[in-house]
Amino acid sequence: MHDTKKKELERLIQWIDADTQLISAPWYYALMIFPLATMGSLVYYIVSENESAFSLFSKLFVVNLIIAFSFSRKITAQLSVSTSVTKILQNYSNQLKLIEKENFQSGLLQQYQQQLGKNGLTASRLIGQLASLFNYLETVVNLVVSLLLNGLFFFMYIFCTAWVSGKNSMHTI
């Protein structure tokens, strides 16, 4: 195995084995109130042209930025491995697709092939989805996109939560 690929694989294994701490479900749903209120106040301002709605929108936008950036240290630590992990996961997904489509003669290989799918979902598809989440996280690095999306939707946090949930499901494959 090439040294670069070996290092990328080691980084992936370290990332999988790292302890992840998510916030509790009540806090998660409580944090969703802010983006909804922000978007609601923006829509209300557009419809009514009420200055107090715009004032509320701007204040909520700033609150959303503060909350989103309070998670930035955790997210930055996860993003440090995202590029190499995305490549590795995409390669695994493609290799698994080939294995899933192959017609094996051996009963043992057919049995292993069947284990790659569960409840209508294939391993290649799940790993491909995880690679896509890594790819989405890389857009967070763009400062302009980050400021806009974090203020409105907690973009970083939502995708990081989905990303970590996908990471935890890798143990079940």
Q: What are phi and psi of 9, to 5 degrees?
A: -65, -40
How far apart CA 133 and CA 120 sit, in angstroms, is 21
Structural contact between residues 77 and 104, judged by C-beta atoms closer than 8 angstroms: no
Residue whose C-alpha is closest to residue 151's, from 73, 55, 69, 28: 69
The residues that bridge with 118 in the sheet, in sequence order, are 121
- The more confidently predicted of residues 132 and 22 is 132
Which pLDDT band holds residue 170 (cuts at 50, 70, 90)? Answer: very low
Q: So what's the pLDDT on residue 173?
A: 42
How many CB atoms are located within 10 Å of the residue 66 CB? 12
Spatial CB neighbours of 1, under 8 Å, sequence gap ≥ 6 = 9
Which pLDDT band holds residue 96 (cuts at 50, 70, 90)? Answer: very high
Mean pLDDT within 48-62: 87
Q: Which residue has the tokens 């200055």?
A: 51
pTM over 0.75: no
- The more confidently predicted of residues 173 and 33 is 33
Whether 152 shows a pLDDT value over 50: the answer reads: yes
Q: So what's the pLDDT on residue 8?
A: 73
Q: pLDDT (tens digit, 9 = 90+) per residue, 109-138?
A: 988 888 888 888 889 999 999 888 877 776
List, in sequence order, the alpha helices (H) in the chain. Answer: 3-17, 25-48, 51-70, 72-79, 82-101, 107-114, 123-138, 143-153, 155-169
Which pLDDT band holds residue 172 (cuts at 50, 70, 90)? Answer: very low
Whether 157 shows a pLDDT value over 70: the answer reads: no
